[in-house]
Structure 1
Amino acid sequence: MYVLSNDMTDENKMVRFMQRIEAGEKIEASDWMPEEYRLTLIKLISMHGISEVMGALPEKEWVPRAPSLQRKLGIMAKVQDEMGHGQLLIRVVEDLMKPYGRNRADLMHDLFTGKLKFHNVFHMKTKTWADAGMIGWLVDGAAIITQTNMLGASYGPYARALKRICAEEVFHAQHGEAIILALAEGTKEQRHMIQEALNRWWEPLLMFFGPASKETTGSSKQDVTIKYKIRTDTNEQLRQRFLTKYIPRVRALGLTIPDSTLAFHEDKNGWVYKQPDWNEFKKITRNEGPSSQERLNLRRVSYDNHAWVRRALAQ
């Protein structure tokens, strides 16, 4: 534990805190930290943790409908991993919330009342088995890009949790890719299924990284996370990395990306693409997406039905 002198002013504590950040030191739960840093971490990690929990639900829908026993076992294991990631991250954020007298029950309340958001992609419908493949291949691929960007996060508990999570997400992406490759080598109908799924998922995938700048959002959240070295790259840099990695892979399967404007321009710092509908993005994050209420209701019913377990553990 890093201890500061009790007679130091908050201003001096802040100076020393930023010196530690710049030196690459890890901040621990028991260390002094400015409120802005603590609140930024709480918002980021709680959203990440709840997204892992809610992100298991679209694939859970396909456990009984998976086309073979092997696929059923694979997707069940993935759902279990995602729930485990959520539990791990919620435990990390609980330590940060202690000074405010809040715990995981408060997080669940915030989720059900709409105060706590979860990733836009997990508000979408999964219409076919190809959707399960797209989630594993491209959604988890996008998640790996955002999460590896924070492996060196200044907050130690989060960085250590991400090390385990990212290792498992690599297997998840391989699981999704295996589904897509099997369908791509299948019948004409199966290839059409993949293309139709890609058409529906492309815009949500671009939204996944968030708007490019504070001019778009009216805020500077990404600037704060970079300032405190919680992450290193901006939303747009992450989106460009995703496009560079996956556009060749998608095209290699003979699939058509649903964007006639898509092109690479070195003089424009990478890929030029059709902007997603950011008004639709805001609507989704208000829990007005295609499956928002269905997923929230499922989570709410599960939470209520297992209240007796929490009571028993509290005895």
Structure 2
Amino acid sequence: MVTMRAMTADEKMEYFMERIESGDKIQADDWMPEEYRQTLIKLISMHGISEIMGALPEKEWVPKAPSLYRKLGIMAKVQDEMGHGQLLLRVAEDLMKPYGKTRGDIMQDLFNEDLKFHNVFHMETKTWADAGLIGWLVDGAAIITQTNMLDASYGPYAKALQRICAEEVFHAQHGESIIMALAEGTKEQQAMVQDALNRWWPALLMFFGPPSKATTGASKQEATIKYRIRKNTNEELRQSFLDKYIPRILSLSLTIPDDTLHFDQEKKHWVYQQPDWTEFKNIIKNNGPKSQARLNLRRSSYENNAWVREALSAVVE
């Protein structure tokens, strides 16, 4: 049997593609093409940082939750999201070892604004309905995205996603519970939910990223599909979201803020107004409503808790 070391670059690539096409799982110590490694690092780092930054909008509502029951629920959710972030950064860190980089470098990339996080977590959470909508629809969108990668060719990521997706289901149910209570409440509460939906709808559509035709050159989604990290395109995932949640939203007597929205019976998909992708690019460049405030909060927290990392390093050594 020919070893990897004895193979040419082309032979290694051919062998690698045969492995992932047969359903084999790539591990951290296995040979992998540089494009595959870099694609994974960017994807998993962004995912992990988005979990951490995604805890901040709901963290703002922990002291303002309307009851002790709701306070405990949202505190548990925030804790879960931070745990997801730490788990994913460890997965990314293993991939970065050949470059001598660690999780600390990922955090510095965030603080230097070289690493982006999901557009939805740059938005304001003005009311309790916003906190509920994040759990119900943002986490619902995340579940659709993440279950699409449960069979990812990179084994450690696929394994981490199994735990994350299971917990995200509870998060979505938690958010749905909040929205249901408000939608069945007073007229003021119902209006609060409608206002939140109006403000968050474009961001929800942007969550999945632009269609391939809105990008130039080879897109990130093409690389992830090529290497069997995920199965579906951004647009296919967005359609799955619409198929699942539009009937549920309408069942609560809510109005979706899109006059063009309708179901095409012939093509069997929802026709909707594309969000402003120029605005999307501006938001993920950290020019969103709460981008800098949340980055500054994360920076100060990281600096103030440096002593904890130092103490733990001393214990390990």
The normalised TM-score by structure 1 is: 0.98
Question: Closer, same or farther in 2 for the Cα pair 1:281/1:86, shift >3 Å?
Answer: same
Does 1:292 pair with 2:291? yes
User: Superposition pairs for residues 194-233 of structure 1, below 5 Å?
Assistant: 194-213=193-212, 215-219=213-217, 220-233=219-232
User: What do residues 268-303 of structure 1 show as CA deviations (whole Å, max 9, x unaligned)?
Assistant: 451111110000000001000000000000000000
Question: Closer, same or farther in 2 for the Cα pair 1:4/1:157, shift >3 Å?
Answer: farther
The residue that corresponds to 1:58 in the other structure is 57
Return the alpha-carbon distance in structure 2 between the equivalents of residues 93 and 77 of structure 1.
25
Identity of aligned residues (%): 75
Q: 1:266: how far off?
A: 3.7
**1:4·1:32 contact (CA, 8 Å) conserved in 2?**
no
Return the alpha-carbon distance in structure 2 between the equivalents of residues 133 and 28 of structure 1.
37
2:116 counterpart SS class: coil
The residue that corresponds to 2:16 in the other structure is 17
User: What do residues 191-232 of structure 1 show as CA deviations (whole Å, max 9, x unaligned)?
Assistant: 00000000000000000000011x312142111100000000
Amino acid at match of 2:12: K
The residue that corresponds to 2:305 in the other structure is 306
Tell which deviates more after alignment, 219-228 or 243-252: 219-228
Amino acid at match of 1:217: T
Amino acid at match of 2:119: N
In the alignment, structure 2 segments of 5+ residues that lack a partner are none
Q: 1:39: how far off?
A: 0.1
Amino acid at match of 1:137: W
Amino acid at match of 2:251: A
The normalised TM-score by structure 2 is: 0.97
User: Superposition pairs for residues 261-272 of structure 1, below 5 Å?
Assistant: 261-268=260-267, 270-272=269-271
**1:4·1:13 contact (CA, 8 Å) conserved in 2?**
no
Equivalent residues, number: 312
Q: 1:138: how far off?
A: 0.2
Point out 4+ residue stretches in structure 1 off by more than 6 angstroms. none
User: What do residues 126-164 of structure 1 show as CA deviations (whole Å, max 9, x unaligned)?
Assistant: 000000000000000000000000000000000000000
**1:180·1:194 contact (CA, 8 Å) conserved in 2?**
yes
Tell which deviates more after alignment, 190-199 or 105-114: 105-114
Return the alpha-carbon distance in structure 2 between the equivalents of residues 241 and 166 of structure 1.
16
The residue that corresponds to 1:159 in the other structure is 158
Q: 1:178: how far off?
A: 0.2
Amino acid at match of 1:164: R
